[in-house]
Amino acid sequence: MAKVILKKKDDAQRRLGEVRGYARKIWLAGLGAYTRVGQEGADYLKELVKAGESVEQRGKKKLDAKVDAANSEIDSVKGELTSVKGKVEVQLDKIEKAFDTRVASALNRIGIPSKHDVEALSAKLDELTALLERVARKQ
């Protein structure tokens, strides 16, 4: 019986040693993985930063191209609007002149003198007043 107990004890210690060995290997594997991740992670992070910078530069180029295209489109529309504005102003002037002519014609038909008629009469009055003043001075 003593031999059986010794065998069980030796067997238990051997298994305990194996478990400790495996535990140590697992521990060392974890440390190795941590170290490798730390080293490779820094390199991987650098690669990601480079890739991000590249994408950012391409995006800026595309955005700048689109902004330039939009600005040129805006400039062309401004030119067209300026042209249209000039045409509209010409048309409004024509309409205004036609309106003024018709209103003046209607006023003349009902006997109301135009501004031109009033100015002509005013000029004649000024001449007559000056003539009367000269005649009055001579007497």
- State the residue range of the domain holding 122: 2-138
Domain count, the chain: 1
Percent of the chain with pLDDT over 90: 34
Rg (CA), the chain: 53
Distance of CA 128 to the CA centre of its chain: 70
Percent of the chain with pLDDT over 70: 94
8 has pLDDT over 70: no
The DSSP call for residue 1 is -
Of the listed ranges 9-13, 85-89, 110-114, 134-138, the least confidently predicted one is 9-13
Residue 17: CA count within 13 A, CB half-sphere: 6
Asked if residue 115 lies in contact with residue 125, where contact means CB atoms within 8 angstroms, the answer is no
Dihedral sign for Cα 93, 94, 97, 103, please. Answer: negative
Residue 11: CA count within 13 A, CB half-sphere: 6
The DSSP call for residue 21 is H
Confidence of residue 41 (pLDDT cuts 50, 70, 90): confident
pLDDT (tens digit per residue) in 112-127: 888 888 899 999 999 9
Distance of CA 2 to the CA centre of its chain: 93
Q: What is the pTM of this model?
A: 0.40
